[in-house]
Chains A and B, each alone.
Chain A
Amino acid sequence: MTGFRSGIRARRLRPRQACAGGACLAVLLVVGEAIRAAPAGQSVRTNRDALKIEKFRQGVVAYDRLHKSAAAQLPPLKPKESRARIVEYQSALAAKIRAVRPHARRGNLFTPAVAREFKRLICLSMQGREAARIRTSLKRGESVQFRVAVNRSYPPSVPFETTPPSLLQNLPELSPELEYRIVGQALVLRDATANLIVDYIPNAIP
C-alpha cells in the first residue's frame, strides 16, 4: 500500500524534483551502507597492519635468499660434522653474509612501521592472564645484556634468554635460518647458522 502511494507520488513529481530526490536517496544509501559497514573499518586497519607484516616477510624472504646464496658458496654442513668443521663453517658463512650486506643498519628489516607493529603484537601477547606467566618466564630465564649491533656475532659465551612460546605464537613466522632472541629489552633477529645479528628492535619488551 505504501509502495503504491509513493509510486503515484513519484509519477506526479517534476523531472528536476525527481533528480534531487534520487540524489538524496543515493546519499542516504551511501551513508547507510557506511554506517552498516562500520565494523569493516577495523578490518581495513587490520589489513594495514597485515601490510606491515607482509613488508617484513618480504624482507625475511630477501634475507633468506641472500643467506642461501652465501651458503651455496661453501661446502654444506652434513648432519654429522667434526667440531672444527662446524666452527669453521659458521665463521666462513658469517664473513660471506657480512660481505654481501656491509652497510646493513638497524631498521633494514624492522623498519619504523614494522617495529611499531611488532611492539604492538608483543604488548598484545603480554596482556591478560598470559602477561604474568610470560614475565615470570622472562625473569626466570637467564637474562642477558650486551651491546647489540647489526652484522655482529652473538657473543659465543653469552647464553640465550628463552623466547617465551606464547610470544613466539604472536610473532610472524620466520625461515628456518632465522630466529627471534631477547637481549635485555630488545628483540633481536638472529641468523642461527651464521650466528649473526640481522636486525633488532630496542625496547621492544615492555
Chain B
Amino acid sequence: MQSRESARSRTKRLRLESAALAAGLLLVFWTARGFRMRGSDSPEPRSSLGAPPPPAPALTFPIIKNSVRFAVIGDSGTGGTMQYEMAREMVACHRKFPFDFVLMPGDNIYGRKRPQGFDRKFALPYQPLLDDGVKFYASLGNHDRTNEQYYNLFNMNGRRYYTFRKGNARLFALDSNYMDPQQLEWLEKQLGQASEPSKICFFHHPLYSDGRTHGPDLDLRAQLQPLFERYHVNVVLSGHDHVYERINPQHGVYYFVLGNSGQLRRHNLRSSPEMAAGFDTDRDFMMVEIFEDYLYFETVSRPGQIVDHGTLPRQKSNSRGQRSPVRARIHSAASEENRRQIADAVCGVISDCCA
C-alpha cells in the first residue's frame, strides 16, 4: 500500500518537474526570441550617440579639386543599433573623404511614420553629417510614404521624382514604386535635355540583382533600360535587396545594388555571371568620386573594411549612339602617390569594367 502511494507521489513529482522544465524552456525560448527581435531594431542608447567615430579605413580616393563627391546608403531607416554603427563609420570616412552629399535609394524610414520615427531613423544617426552641411537626397522606397517628399532633410522639394546637377554630373531620383507614364515621359524629356557628361539615376527597385529575396524587377527593366541606353546613362544605383552587389555592365550601364545600410539579409546573394562583386554578411555604404572621365568608388562595411573598390571609366558613345568602353587609366591630376594607390586598387576591377 505504502509502495503504491510512494509510486503515485513519485509520478506526480515527475509530472510537476517535467511541466516546470517545459515552462522554463518556453520562457527561455520566448526571451531569446524577444532579444533577437529587439536587437535588430532597438533604439540606439543615447550615450553611444556621442561616442567618438571609429577609425576610418585607408581610403584611396584621389580627392581632386572640383570633383563630385558623394556617398550612397540604401534601405537604411531601421533606427536600429546597426544603422547607428554604420552612420558612425560614415562620419569617420567623411573626415578622410569629405563627400558633399548622400544619395538614398529608398526605404529611408521603416515602420510607422511618427515624427519621433523620422528623428530616430534618420536625423539622429546622421546628425554629425547634417551638422557638417552634408545634404541628403532621397528617393522613395516601398516602405516610404509619398508625403516624405515634403520632409526638409530629404531635399525632394515636394516631388516624387526630380533631378539636380552637381558639378559635371546630372542626377535623377525616380519613384520606382509607381512608374506611371507621366514619370516615364518626364524622365525621357529630362534625359534628352541633360548636357552633363555624367548621368546617374537612383531609385529603389533594382533592374539587375542576384538577391534571393526579391531579384530584378523585369517590368521596370523593360521600361527603363531602353531609356538608359538611348540617353547614355552611366550609373544606376538601387536598393530593395538587402545586400551589396556590383553588376557587370549591362548594355553599357553600370548597375549597383546597395540595400544593406540598415537592413541586412545574410547569405542572400546567389552567384551569377552578371555579378562583378557582392557582399551580404554585414551592413555597408558606398562613397563615390567623379572627375572628368572616371568614377572612383569604395564600399565600406560597418566594421570599416573596404569590401569593394575600383575605377569605372565613363562610357563613350559613337555617332550612332552605340556605347564602347573607354580604356581605363589613372587620371593625370591625381598625385603620384594617389596614382600608385589607385593603380593597386583598380587592377582587379578594370577587366570587369571594360568587359
Contact = CB atoms under 8 A, between A and B. Distances in A.
Interface in A24-80: 77-80
Given A156-B145, A162-B205, A162-B220, A81 B181 contact: no
Interface string B50-75: 00000000000000000000000000
Contacts of A81: 150-152
A162 B147 contact: no
Contacts, number: 109
Interface stretch (A8-16, A99-107, A165-173): A165-173
Given A81-B150, A83-B115, A156-B112, A137 B142 contact: no
Contact of B142 (A82, A156, A161, A169): A161
B218 A137 contact: yes
Given A83-B151, A142-B142, A157-B111, A169 B217 contact: no
A18 to B, nearest CB: 61
A84 B142 contact: no
Interface in A178-192: 179, 192
Interface residues of A, number: 37
A117 to B, nearest CB: 19
**Interface band, chain B:** 35 or more
Interface in A148-206: 156-157, 159-166, 168-169, 173, 179, 192-193, 195
B245 to A, nearest CB: 15
A86 B147 contact: yes
A120 interface: no
Interface stretch (B172-180, B297-305, B324-332): B172-180
A87 B114 contact: yes
B1 interface: no
Interface string B297-335: 000000000000000000000000000000000000000
B7 interface: no
A195 B181 contact: no
A80 B145 contact: no
Contact of A169 (B115, B145, B147, B181): B181
Contacts of B155: 80
Interface in B155-181: 155, 157-159, 176-181
A167 to B, nearest CB: 8
Contacts of A173: 181-182
A136 interface: yes
A140 B215 contact: yes
Given A137-B220, A140-B214, A162-B176, A87 B142 contact: no
Interface string A135-148: 01100111000000
A26 to B, nearest CB: 49
B216 A80 contact: no
A83 B214 contact: no
Contacts of B182: 173
B80 to A, nearest CB: 15
Contacts of A134: 219
A78 B143 CA distance: 23
A137 B219 contact: yes
A90 interface: yes
B222 interface: yes
Interface of B: 111-115, 118-119, 123, 142-143, 145-148, 150-152, 155, 157-159, 176-182, 184, 205, 214-220, 222-223
Given A80-B155, A137-B219, 17 more contacts: A79-B150, A80-B158, A81-B152, A82-B115, A133-B218, A140-B214, A141-B205, A157-B112, A160-B142, A162-B178, A163-B178, A165-B220, A165-B222, A168-B178, A168-B181, A195-B145, A195-B146
